[in-house]
Chains A and B, each alone.
Chain A
Amino acid sequence: MTELLVPIVVATLAAGTPLVFAALGELVTEKSGVLNLGVEGMMLVGAIAAFAATVASGNTWVGVIAGMLAGAAMSLVFAALALTLQANQVAAGLALSLFGLGLSAFAGKPLESIALQAPLVFRIPLLSDVPLLGPMLFSHQPLVYLSWLLVALVSWFLYRSRAGLVLRAVGESPVSANAIGYPVIAIRYLATLFGGAMAGIGGAFLSIVYTPMWVEGMTAGRGWIALALVVFATWRPGRVLAGAYLFGGVTIAQFFAQGAGVAVASQLLSSLPYLATIVVLVLISRHPNIIRLNAPVSLGKPYHPDA
């Protein structure tokens, strides 16, 4: 049993990692009161930018940074529309997702037949030698550790730092925050940019680590699942991590089920992550108070200091 346990845990964490990045970024964005539905588009553009940069430079980290910058650039377009030009946030986010799908497909055409070498896992010295736990938790891609670090940092930032308090205040009541003298729009810009950069890293993980190649639309709805995860996690960073690995587990279940010879149509197994997203959303939102108590009050509502 244990020889199967290790690969299952390792594969689950890897499958969940793009979701950790994307959902954690969107969580910070939403905490500032901004609903950016463009995660899927930002992930895709991050994925193709990271892939192209890795192919050109031969260096994974150059790719990760390119993905991060591309995701941030995409979120800047959203911020300009929704925060400066006061566009409807739902429509602007949808536009970003559709645009990202088109842009990445267009830019990725010449790169479709290239395959990259997946980067090596990094074994944390000493810890990775612990039996069972070592190979399960301490022999991963460097980005997996980075995602853990970021979960801890975002948790600390939101609930233990003054800047995080200001960010949450902006998300709860932009009018009050503005009255006290905080630059609401600038803070929302920063939170949106952070969300974009994180979605970009999530996309980069997909295209240069998880399946090291470019396929049109390769995020396959992960950006939308990340949005659902933020709700599922009731806007708490630690729960994002747990939720992402839950989905990672559902995603890889199909491979292990097929490997074990379970006689079910592969399409049914492939649809499990999407069905699980719906089930999880229903479970969390059927108690209106859970959402009402945890969601940022001004989420998705436009705000202009002059109006």
Chain B
Amino acid sequence: MWLRLEARAAPSRAMRYLPPLVAAALTIVAGFAVSLALGRDPLAAFYAFFVQPVSSLNGVAELLLKASPLMLIATGLAIGYRANVWNIGAEGQLILGAIFGGGLALHLPGVDSRWLLAAMVLAGALGGMLWAAIPALLRSRFNTNEILVSLMLVYVASLLLSYLVQEPWRDPQGFNFPQSKMFADAALYPILLDSTRLNAGFLVALAVVACGWLFVAKSFLGYQMRVAGLAGAAARYAGFSARRSVWIGMLAGGAAAGIAGVGEVAGPIGQLTPSISPGYGFAAIIVAFVGRLNPVGIFFASLLMSLLYLGGEAAQMELRLPSAITGLFQGMLLFFLLGSDVLIHYRVRLLRRAAA
């Protein structure tokens, strides 16, 4: 028997929304296979990975807490991806956001006003935009590949943060640990649910996702950028500026990632440390794709991805598997998604050898 791809006359609309579900199902099947291969009971592993982490109120709070940066960043990235602007350096833009927002908190220790937090969010967005502006400028001025530039800047951002917490911003009473002072209460997001870590940063993320939806679904500019991504020549003919697409696409991702960085340091971490994100900036790329570059889809995809993070932590505790298994499943999820996307443009036919 052979599988054969037959081109569809027109892309299937129904099949546009099926692949994320197929991909999630295949990832779970692959999870069964991995746990069998590692000699674990697959059902117990499934329970420990996907069910147990969210079977308590605290678990649900953690799910939403970790989904917040993911949905935020993915919404920003999707605006660029729709226009074929490939910002893959959100991890670095997140770090710059944390540096700008966190720096403000460290330099205004006496301020006891709610406006401090608002200023930090704004500073974080600016920091992320500043970092994203570098690849945007180089791409629009010198035609430099934004994929490679934005990624290189991730390493530079990480080294910059490492320098700041080791030298100028190190807590003198911190027993020589490379970390800043703890932020004052006014510089922290208020907790939403008592006795959990879920904070108001989640509401900020929801608001950004809603704005993202308005932009891509309702605004003329969002429509222009979509056309630029689907048919560059048509967009140029219609007079839509390609440079503007690059700038808006990059800056949207940078601002969102910067806000997410503030969310981490003004949320669960509460200070600047050398490592403030377990790869949210990269995982958000997968979230953007799994969510079909649509903020509504991104919301649900971020919950799934957040569950993979929680499951990885649970796997470490319950199954004694390295939590790095999260990265393995994240990669697989994107593989399965891209693979099943073939259904949008092609029909898969089973051919018997005799018939072929």
Contacts and interface: CB of A to CB of B under 8 A. Distances in A.
The answer to whether A and B interact is yes
B144 interface: yes
Interface string B108-152: 000000000000000000000000001000100111110111011
A228 B148 contact: yes
Interface stretch (A119-127, A176-184, A266-274): A266-274
Contacts of B346: 86
B82 to A, nearest CB: 13
B32 to A, nearest CB: 16
B155 A85 contact: no
Contacts, number: 144
A137 interface: no
Contact of A94 (B285, B326, B327): B285
Contacts of B70: none
Contacts of B329: 102
B36 interface: no
A148 B152 CA distance: 27
B148 A224 contact: yes
A227 B338 contact: no
A163 interface: no
A106 B144 contact: no
Given A106-B322, A227-B148, A267 B160 contact: yes
B86 A277 contact: no
A286 B149 CA distance: 14
Q: Is the interface of A mostly helix, strand, loop or mixed?
A: helix
Contact of A281 (B5, B88, B144): B144
Contacts of B345: 86
B227 interface: no
Nearest to B143: A285
Nearest to B326: A102
A288 B143 contact: yes
Interface string A274-303: 110110011001101001000000000000
Contacts of B160: 267, 271
Interface string B137-173: 0100111110111011111100110110011000000
A53 interface: no
A28 to B, nearest CB: 19
A95 interface: yes
A98 B324 contact: no
A2 B155 CA distance: 34
A102 B327 contact: yes
B330 interface: yes
Nearest to B324: A105
A86 B338 CA distance: 9
B185 interface: no
A85 B342 CA distance: 6
B126 to A, nearest CB: 21
Contacts of B341: 85, 87
A224 B322 contact: no
Given A91-B338, A288-B143, A99 B331 contact: yes
Nearest to B148: A228
Interface string A180-210: 0000000000000000000000000000000
Given A86-B346, A94-B285, A306-B7, A267 B148 contact: no
A81 B134 CA distance: 32
Contact of A268 (B7, B88, B163): B163
Max chain B Cβ within 10 angstroms of own Cβ: one of A87, A95, A101, A278? A95
Interface residues of A, number: 50
Contact of A85 (B166, B327, B338): B338
A160 interface: no
B328 interface: yes
Interface in B316-354: 322, 324-332, 334-335, 338-339, 341-342, 345-346
A101 B327 contact: yes
A106 B342 contact: no
Interface string A64-75: 000000000000
Contact of B339 (A81, A98, A228, A285): A81
B90 to A, nearest CB: 12
A220 interface: yes
Contact of B144 (A96, A101, A275, A282): A282
A286 B160 CA distance: 27
Given A224-B148, A227-B148, A282-B138, A99 B328 contact: yes
A281 B155 CA distance: 16
Contact of B338 (A87, A216, A224, A278): A87
A81 B6 CA distance: 16
A101 B6 CA distance: 34
Contacts of A304: 5, 7
B213 interface: no
A80 B3 CA distance: 13
Contacts of B153: 274, 278
Interface string A85-118: 1111011101110111111011001000000000
A95 to B, nearest CB: 4
B335 A95 contact: yes
A271 to B, nearest CB: 5
A286 B143 contact: yes
B50 interface: no
B289 interface: yes
Contacts of B64: none
B266 to A, nearest CB: 24
Given A220-B155, A271-B155, A285 B144 contact: yes
A94 B147 CA distance: 10
Task: Report the 8 A-B pairs with minimum CB-CB distance, sorted nearest first.
Answer: A102-B327, A99-B331, A105-B324, A87-B338, A109-B322, A95-B334, A267-B163, A286-B142
Given A94-B88, A286-B142, 16 more contacts: A87-B338, A87-B339, A98-B334, A99-B331, A101-B327, A106-B324, A267-B162, A267-B163, A271-B160, A274-B156, A278-B138, A278-B148, A278-B149, A278-B152, A286-B144, A306-B5
6 contacts: A87-B341, A94-B285, A98-B330, A231-B145, A275-B152, A278-B152
